[in-house]
């Protein structure tokens, strides 16, 4: 086989590039804690046709035993519950864990202007944790086509300073 | 890796892709052709990729407010 | 004597596939034009926002499935016949796969366009990915299945020709074009098994009501088993053109035959086991599979980066013989006034940019920044929408005289076509990529939301919308130029005295190529093993609780 020396050099550079990209991704994944949802993130599965017997029957913000907040949310044709109609209020600078599922079709959950982005699949629970460092309003949108009124599926998160977060609206365990 | 100098003497002879053509335009063989221009173009692309990728990853992405951390 | 005189039977098949391809291209392009105007709120008099999704389904299916598959069938039939010096072995079989594909296309189109006719009970607004539980009319799935099965028939047909040729040439290297055809199609058959199982075993019975509930994650995973490899099914025929025809159009010769073959071998091995990178943000898929997908997807950059070098070096070889010199100035000596060359070269330049956004998409966690934003269509309009589509259009200008025996009509329009496509795509893709970084989603009929607005990292949202609408308009004009040249040449082109259809041999030809690169069984075997390794465990995970669990009922669209 006849490979020109320039081409050998280029193949070397290409392999370096690939190794560099893989390293950067792994660095972000391990050191910077930038991760993605997945089945080993503790979400698990749920019977989408029988959500009445699960915490998803009363979607909203809860406080866990170790003092963190978690949000049970339904993404459904064509709203987020909670989040649409009335905004979802969350504290800044605090760990918040989302558990999102869908009772009907596949949806997307994206918080505009952030890296919070997950598929929402009936039968699967998307579980992921984040921290909002800055108070303010954040738009939620469905980024997976879910039917004729898909473009109206939106909501709002209101992030308030931790001292102003009102715990009286939490869902009882 | 072929180092046999005769191996590149007549590339057309054994090629089943050889369908004729204006031979005068195709006189250079692989041995007297060093693609410096290609090395320059691809080298520039290599640098561009590394720089743009790092910008996208560390500035656009990792520099954003809220991310999925667990 | 050109192709039409030597292989009149093959020519009829190529022409038939091209007719279907170009009808789909025209209709799908028109839909894209309407969408670009609608979703940017530039002009909304044609459809309402609900019908947007019928059109979007048509745009995706007609362009990404129908235009590509039919054009590839024609291009590869041309390559097989000229390289092996054979007409098709059995014309009944050849027309059989053509009509299977065509009937499939018609059925799927009826289902999609039925959505625009109120009250007919037929619709298929499920988009190109048709994720259940969104449910289309059964005709949509039956049509899609026939299209895929027809493409398998074409594969078999080309293998028949190859096996017959092999009887007379037991010791020869496989001709380069044939090698590329066979490896592309083997990859496609292996890769399309996922969508075939999804559609035939799950979705057709489900859409007919034989199954009620479906587990959405399973068909989604089967779709992406095929859904990433399919992009290489589109791309490899463009590589076929860049490796075997573009060097000649540049006035030079292919740099290296062996490297071209290595690239196609790697694509057979690596295209299918990487589909999980489309599911980085899925719950229900383990992190181990996702991390494997990162490594495997980034590794598949290698054959494309190798292609970049070999193809650019082949062009440089041409440019230097045309008097070009210097590190960069040689590019000015290339035949930029020839539409076929200009289209392929501009497509290659756009692919370099699309390659970059693809590298971003492959990189796991950064997917949370771009996933399902309009950045993604920004990316694939550079790859399939330009690297592939513009190459196909450009090489049509070179193939038409061989297929019709006529000179290209309206050469100035033909020359304007690739440049206008390039300009239109620079604008549209730039707008889409940057709007995606601002968080604007793909696949939506509306430019914004009522409760919040998007903030651009740089530039303004309005300027991005203008680029998308203007770019989409220029692309549509470019498409019309293409169709006018094709129709004009076909029906009113002047007879060509001579047609330059010769392809010179590679600088480093097959005599330097190791025989092992031609070993079809070996590489196919390894490819199958890699697929089994990549997909057995995740699919077993999904099936552990039953095929239809956790299930949900259908949502008809």
Flag whether B20 is in a domain. Answer: no
CB contact, 8 Å: B61 with chain A? yes
Q: CB–CB of A115 and B8 under 8 A?
A: no
Q: Are the beta carbons of A38 and C286 closer than 8 angstroms?
A: yes
Q: CB–CB of A126 and C283 under 8 A?
A: yes
Residues in chain B: 70
Q: Are strands A136-141 and A154-160 parallel, antiparallel or unpaired?
A: antiparallel
Flag whether B54 is in a domain. Answer: yes
Q: CB–CB of A13 and B34 under 8 A?
A: no
Q: Are the beta carbons of C127 and C67 closer than 8 angstroms?
A: no
Assign 3-class secondary structure to C159-226: HHHHHHHHHHCCCCCCCHHHHHHHHHHHHHHHHHHHHHHHHHHHHHHHHCCCCCCECCHHHHHHHHHH
Test mutation, B14, B38, B44, chain C, max C CBs within 10 A? B38
Nearest to C127 among A145, A151, A152 (CB): A145
Q: CB–CB of C330 and B26 under 8 A?
A: no
Catalytic residue flag (residue C228):
yes
Nearest to B67 among A4, A20, A34 (CB): A34
Flag whether B57 is in a domain. Answer: yes
Q: Is B36 exposed, middle or buried (0-12, 13-18, 19+ CB in 10 A)?
A: middle
What pLDDT shows up at residue B7? Answer: 37
Q: Are the beta carbons of C290 and C367 closer than 8 angstroms?
A: no
C241-266 confidence digits (pLDDT tens): 999 999 999 999 998 999 999 999 99
> Which residues in B lie closer than 8 A to residue C457 (C-beta atoms)?
60
Nearest CA in chain B to A112: B66
> Which residues in C lie closer than 8 A to residue A145 (C-beta atoms)?
53, 127, 134, 443-444
Q: Which residues contact C471 (CB under 8 A, 6 or more apart)?
A: C36, C423, C424, C425, C426, C427, C428, C429, C430, C431
Strand partners, A154: A141
Catalytic residue flag (residue C442):
yes
Per-residue pLDDT of chain B (70 residues; tens, 9 = 90+): 333 333 333 333 333 333 333 444 445 556 678 999 999 999 999 999 999 999 999 999 999 889 999 8
Q: Is A173 exposed, middle or buried (0-12, 13-18, 19+ CB in 10 A)?
A: exposed
Test mutation, C84, C287, C509, chain B, max B CBs within 10 A? C509
What pLDDT shows up at residue C66? Answer: 98
Type and span of the H or E element at C135: strand C134-135
C132-169 confidence digits (pLDDT tens): 999 999 999 999 999 999 999 999 999 999 999 999 99
Residues of chain A with a CB closer than 8 angstroms to some CB in chain B: 1-4, 6, 9-10, 13, 17, 20-21, 24, 28, 32-37, 41, 97, 111, 113-118, 128-134, 138
Distance CA C65, CA C57 (A): 11
Distance CA C522, CA C499 (A): 39
Flag whether B4 is in a domain. Answer: no
> Which tokens sit at B42?
């691809």
Is residue C274 very low, low, confident or very high in pLDDT (cuts 50, 70, 90)?
Answer: very high
Q: CB–CB of B60 and C457 under 8 A?
A: yes
Maximal C-alpha separation, chain B: 65
Q: Are the beta carbons of C282 and A30 closer than 8 angstroms?
A: no
**A164 to chain B, closest Cα gap in Å:** 20
Flag whether B23 is in a domain. Answer: no
The phi, psi pair for C514, rounded to 5°, reads: -60, 140
pLDDT over 90, % of chain A: 87
DSSP state of C134: E
C173-222 confidence digits (pLDDT tens): 999 999 999 999 999 999 999 999 999 999 999 999 999 999 999 999 99
Q: Which chains touch B (3 or more CB pairs under 8 A)?
A: A, C
CB environment C353-392: b (16+ within 10 A), e (fewer): bbbbbbbbbbbbbbbbbbbbbbbbbbbbbbbbbbbbbbbb
- What average pLDDT does the segment C520-547 reach? 92
Q: Are the beta carbons of C206 and C135 closer than 8 angstroms?
A: yes
Q: Does domain C3-556 have CATH number 1.20.210.10?
A: yes
DSSP assignment of C442-472 equals SS-SSS--SS-----SSS-HHHHHHHHHHHH
> Which residues in B lie closer than 8 A to residue C255 (C-beta atoms)?
30, 35
Catalytic residue flag (residue C98):
no
- What average pLDDT does the segment A11-39 reach? 95
What pLDDT shows up at residue B2? Answer: 37
> Which residues in A lie closer than 8 A to residue B53 (C-beta atoms)?
20-21, 24
A155: closest CA among A94, A126, A112, A93?
A112
Residues in chain A: 173
Q: Are strands C555-556 and C134-135 parallel, antiparallel or unpaired?
A: parallel
Assign 3-class secondary structure to A64-98: CCCCCEEEEEEEECCEEECCCCCCEEEECCCEEEE
Q: Could you tell me if residue A150 is left (phi over 0), alpha (psi between -120 and 50 degrees) or otherwise beta?
A: alpha
Q: Are the beta carbons of B21 and C327 closer than 8 angstroms?
A: no
Nearest to C290 among A6, A38, A118 (CB): A38
CA C358 to chain centre: 15
CATH number, span A39-169: 2.60.40.420
Whether the upstream peptide bond of residue C477 has omega within 30° of 0, thus cis, is no
Coil, strand or helix at C286: coil
Is residue C50 very low, low, confident or very high in pLDDT (cuts 50, 70, 90)?
Answer: very high
CB contact, 8 Å: B62 with chain A? yes
CA B55, B58, B61, B63 dihedral sign is negative
**How far is residue C141 from each of residues C147, C375, C505, measured CA to CA in Å?**
10, 28, 44
> Which residues in A lie closer than 8 A to residue C557 (C-beta atoms)?
147-148
Nearest to B21 among C313, C503, C510 (CB): C503
> Which residues in C lie closer than 8 A to residue A40 (C-beta atoms)?
286-288
> Which tokens sit at C201?
């075993």
Nearest to A1 among B1, B46, B69 (CB): B1
Is residue A116 very low, low, confident or very high in pLDDT (cuts 50, 70, 90)?
Answer: very high
What pLDDT shows up at residue C557? Answer: 87
What pLDDT shows up at residue B30? Answer: 60
Is residue C400 very low, low, confident or very high in pLDDT (cuts 50, 70, 90)?
Answer: very high
Nearest to B56 among C313, C324, C366 (CB): C366
Q: CB–CB of B17 and C509 under 8 A?
A: yes
- Calculate the average pLDDT of chain C: 96
The catalytic residue among C39, C220, C228, C433 is: C228
Is residue A173 very low, low, confident or very high in pLDDT (cuts 50, 70, 90)?
Answer: low
Q: CB–CB of C368 and A116 under 8 A?
A: yes
- What average pLDDT does the segment C325-338 reach? 96
The catalytic residue among C253, C261, C379, C434 is: C379
Nearest CA in chain B to A116: B67
DSSP assignment of chain A equals ----HHHHHHHHHHHHHHHHHHHHHHHHHHTS------GGGT--B--TT-GGGSGGGS-EEEE-TTS-EEEEEEEETTEEETTSSSPEEEETTSEEEEEEE-SSS-EEEEETTSB-EEEE-TTB-EEEEEE--S-EEEEEE--S--STTGGG-EEEEEEE-GGG--GGGSPP-
**C173 to chain A, closest Cα gap in Å:** 14
Greater pLDDT, C436 or C500: C436
Q: CB–CB of B65 and A134 under 8 A?
A: yes
The ipTM estimated for the assembled molecules is: 0.96
Coil, strand or helix at C508: strand
The catalytic residue among C253, C277, C434, C442 is: C442
Q: CB–CB of A145 and C444 under 8 A?
A: yes
Nearest CA in chain A to C213: A49
Catalytic residue flag (residue C381):
yes
Q: CB–CB of C507 and B28 under 8 A?
A: yes
What pLDDT shows up at residue B21? Answer: 39
C54-105 confidence digits (pLDDT tens): 999 999 999 999 999 999 999 999 999 999 999 999 999 999 999 999 999 9
How many domains does chain B contain in total? 1
Distance CA C220, CA C227 (A): 10
Q: Are the beta carbons of A114 and B64 closer than 8 angstroms?
A: yes
Q: Which chains touch A (3 or more CB pairs under 8 A)?
A: B, C
C461-518 confidence digits (pLDDT tens): 999 999 999 999 999 999 999 999 999 999 999 999 889 899 999 988 888 899 999 9
Is residue A43 very low, low, confident or very high in pLDDT (cuts 50, 70, 90)?
Answer: confident
Flag whether B12 is in a domain. Answer: no
Q: Are the beta carbons of A157 and A133 closer than 8 angstroms?
A: no
pLDDT over 90, % of chain C: 93
A121-146 confidence digits (pLDDT tens): 999 999 999 999 999 999 999 999 99
Q: CB–CB of A148 and C279 under 8 A?
A: no
**A166 to chain C, closest Cα gap in Å:** 23
> Which residues in A lie closer than 8 A to residue C372 (C-beta atoms)?
108, 110, 117, 143-144
- What average pLDDT does the segment C543-557 reach? 89
- Count B/C contacts: CB-CB distance under 8 Å: 127
Distance CA B57, CA A173 (A): 39
> Which residues in C lie closer than 8 A to residue A104 (C-beta atoms)?
133, 552, 555
**B9 to chain C, closest Cα gap in Å:** 10
Assign 3-class secondary structure to C35-96: HHHHHCCCCCCCCCCCCHHHHHHHHHHHHHHHHHHHHHHHHHHHHHHHHHCCCCCCHHHHHH
Based on its alpha-carbon atoms, the radius of gyration of chain A, rounded to whole angstroms, reads 20
Q: Are strands A69-76 and A95-101 parallel, antiparallel or unpaired?
A: parallel
CA C526, C532, C535, C537 dihedral sign is negative
Nearest to C451 among A7, A119, A156 (CB): A156
Q: Which residues contact C308 (CB under 8 A, 6 or more apart)?
A: B42, B45, C348, C352
Give the angle C260-C262-C268 at the CA atoms, nearest 5°. 110
- Residue B51 is part of which domain span? 33-64
DSSP state of C555: E
**B24 to chain A, closest Cα gap in Å:** 23
């Amino acid at each position: 086989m006849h490979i020109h020396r320039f081409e050998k050099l280029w193949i070397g550079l290409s392999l370096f590039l690939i190794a560099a990209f893989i390293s950067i991704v792994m660095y972000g994944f391990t050191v910077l804690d930038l991760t993605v949802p997945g089945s080993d993130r503790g979400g698990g599965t749920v019977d989408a046709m029988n959500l009445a017997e699960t915490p998803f029957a009363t979607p909203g913000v809860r406080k866990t035993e170790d003092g963190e907040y978690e949000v049970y949310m339904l993404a459904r044709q064509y709203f987020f519950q909670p989040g649409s109609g009335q905004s979802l209020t969350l504290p800044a600078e605090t760990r918040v864990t989302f558990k999102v599922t869908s009772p009907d079709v596949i949806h997307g959950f994206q918080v505009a202007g952030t890296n919070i982005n997950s598929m929402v699949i009936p039968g699967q629970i998307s579980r992921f944790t984040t921290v909002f460092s800055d108070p303010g309003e954040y738009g939620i949108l469905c980024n997976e086509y879910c039917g004729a009124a898909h473009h109206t599926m939106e909501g709002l998160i209101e992030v308030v300073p931790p001292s102003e977060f009102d715990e009286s609206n939490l869902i009882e365990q | 890796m072929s180092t046999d100098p005769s191996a590149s003497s007549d590339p057309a002879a054994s090629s089943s892709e050889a369908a004729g053509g204006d031979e005068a335009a195709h006189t250079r063989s692989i041995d007297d052709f060093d693609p410096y221009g290609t090395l320059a173009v691809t080298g520039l692309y290599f640098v561009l990729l590394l720089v743009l990728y790092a910008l996208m990853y560390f500035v656009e992405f990792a520099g954003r407010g809220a991310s999925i951390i667990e | 004597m050109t192709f039409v005189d030597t292989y009149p039977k093959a020519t009829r098949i190529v022409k038939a596939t091209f007719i279907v391809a170009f009808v789909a291209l025209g209709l799908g392009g028109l839909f894209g034009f309407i969408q670009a105007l609608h979703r940017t709120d530039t002009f909304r008099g044609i459809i309402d926002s609900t019908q947007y999704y019928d059109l979007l389904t048509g745009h995706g299916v007609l362009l990404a499935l129908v235009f590509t598959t039919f054009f590839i069938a024609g291009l590869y039939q041309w390559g097989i016949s000229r390289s092996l010096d054979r007409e098709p072995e059995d014309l009944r079989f050849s027309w059989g796969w053509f009509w299977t594909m065509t009937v499939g296309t018609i059925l799927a189109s009826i289902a999609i366009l039925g959505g625009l006719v109120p009250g007919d009970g037929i619709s298929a607004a499920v988009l190109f990915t048709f994720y259940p539980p969104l449910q289309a009319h059964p005709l949509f799935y039956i049509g899609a299945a026939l299209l895929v099965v027809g493409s398998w028939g074409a594969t078999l047909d080309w293998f028949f020709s190859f096996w017959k040729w092999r009887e007379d040439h037991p010791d020869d290297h496989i001709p380069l074009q044939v090698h590329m055809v066979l490896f592309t199609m083997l990859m496609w058959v292996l890769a399309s098994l996922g969508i075939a199982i999804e559609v035939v075993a799950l979705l057709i019975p489900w859409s007919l009501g034989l199954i009620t509930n479906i587990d959405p994650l399973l068909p989604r995973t089967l779709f992406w088993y095929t859904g990433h490899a399919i992009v290489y099914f589109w791309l490899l025929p463009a590589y076929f053109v860049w490796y075997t025809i573009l060097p000649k159009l540049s006035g030079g010769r292919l740099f290296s035959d062996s490297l071209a073959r290595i690239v196609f071998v790697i694509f057979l091995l690596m295209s299918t086991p990487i589909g999980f990178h489309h599911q980085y943000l899925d719950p229900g898929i383990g992190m181990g599979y996702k991390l494997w997908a990162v490594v495997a997807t980034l590794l598949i950059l290698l054959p494309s980066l190798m292609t970049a070098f070999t193809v650019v070096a082949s062009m440089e070889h041409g440019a230097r013989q045309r008097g070009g010199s210097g590190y960069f100035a040689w590019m000015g000596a290339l035949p930029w006034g020839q539409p076929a060359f200009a289209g392929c070269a501009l497509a290659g330049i756009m692919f370099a940019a699309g390659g970059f956004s693809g590298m971003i998409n492959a990189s796991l966690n950064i997917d949370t920044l771009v996933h399902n934003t309009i950045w993604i269509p920004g990316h694939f309009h550079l790859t399939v929408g330009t690297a592939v589509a513009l190459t196909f259009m450009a090489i049509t200008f070179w193939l038409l005289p061989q297929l019709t025996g006529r000179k290209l009509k309206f050469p100035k329009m033909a020359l304007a076509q690739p440049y206008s496509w390039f300009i239109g795509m620079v604008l549209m893709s730039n707008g889409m990529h940057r709007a995606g970084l601002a968080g604007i989603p793909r696949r939506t009929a509306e430019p914004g939301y009522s409760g919040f607005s998007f903030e651009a990292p740089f530039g303004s949202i309005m300027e991005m919308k203008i680029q998308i609408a203007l770019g989409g308009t220029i692309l549509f004009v470019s498409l019309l130029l293409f169709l006018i040249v094709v129709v004009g040449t076909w029906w009113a082109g002047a007879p060509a005295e001579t047609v330059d259809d010769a392809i010179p041999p590679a600088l480093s030809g097959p005599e330097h190529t190791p025989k092992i690169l031609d070993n079809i069984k070996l590489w196919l075997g390894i490819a199958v093993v890699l697929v089994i390794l990549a997909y057995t465990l995740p699919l077993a995970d999904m099936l552990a609780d039953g095929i239809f669990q956790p299930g949900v009922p259908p949502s008809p669209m």
